[in-house]
Structure 1
């Protein structure tokens, strides 16, 4: 290795180290600030205390909101994963004129007409269906917004499943649902896991939809309750916000670690090529 190459490699490693340190600062703040008696916006060693978590326990909606977030996220995850898998399997196996064009249009519209742009007609629709202040209504709205992209992703996994497996199962008398349950779904488990985690993360951090559609504080998820830790003048209660943010991030991080260890987020099906 020439001196010039060595200098370039050292500069590259130094740059990577600086970027890593810069990206680690918010994580360090999230780990230290909840245990600091007087947290600030800088990451520093805390004056160790549990008063911030004690303050959360005094809030009647803090822990309830975490349970509400779990309910909304899990319900949407199950709905999007189940319907996405069924629709993707149908689109993958059934020849429909304009199938690919329809799929791209759905994906395009779901990307352009976001929740913010469509909030007024969504609110009017939920009002007509008498689903204002209904967690079921929030689940349906969030799931409907995520389904087009989920179907688009899952179709690639379905296309990678050899049809010879299904044909062999049909020879032995298996029906369509049995083939889907016993042949196709076990093969595309990494895709199902990817869609499940993606849906959970999107719903877990969603603020606008539950903020507009839910009226009762006891039904609000954590993303909405976190907003109440600001004063009317916009001053943030950093102690409560940091403690609540730490609790708020644990379920998603735990699920990511579990799925990553189980599947590794491989973007291909279970068939080895």
Structure 2
């Protein structure tokens, strides 16, 4: 029994030593460079001490790797060409221009409404996942909620409209900051053409893109989105899902809506 244990121990040591030999580490650590896998093993590491083992074939050095600059896709640039100066032409441009970010995205294209001087415009980041037209930019429960929000300001469904920064839902439902900034520039131009009485911006990302820092409780003035038609007073609120599920957020938002009520009825 003891002989078997001794044999197992010797086999383990031998296997361990052979592994180090195959790796090329067959001597004490030295500061100088050493030939990995190409140098002849030390005699006492060989299976048969003193036997002359064949030299392993020399491995030619791999060509040096060169690092080439990685080509990144250019970020969407700011809209350089002048955008059309009337609302129908602007919406036709959005629908047909191949340089728009949404031109290569799938799904139905939902343009901002062809309406001028509506009382109130709700602005969201992108259409609902199952949106098919302007009436379904938001999910049914979300639309019902924003209509109730408009009713609290004394408005009905005919007094309001809903528009999204993106006319299609982006791949992965995510907009990078550069694209978001470009879409916000486009929406600002739309506001100058449509000239709504006021705007409610839903979600922090959308409000940061359009006006920067969102409205906070305690502020006694509303931010304004400056555009070619002058400016549009805006309220920046959390997204509809957050407002529907957090009563505290809804209560804070009511303070901002009261200011907007004064603007719409001033």
Higher helix share: 1
Same-fold call, TM cutoff 0.5 = no
TM-score bracket for the superposition, by shorter chain length = under 0.3
Greater relative contact order (Cα < 8 A, sep 6+):
1
TM-score by length of 1: 0.20
TM-score by length of 2: 0.21
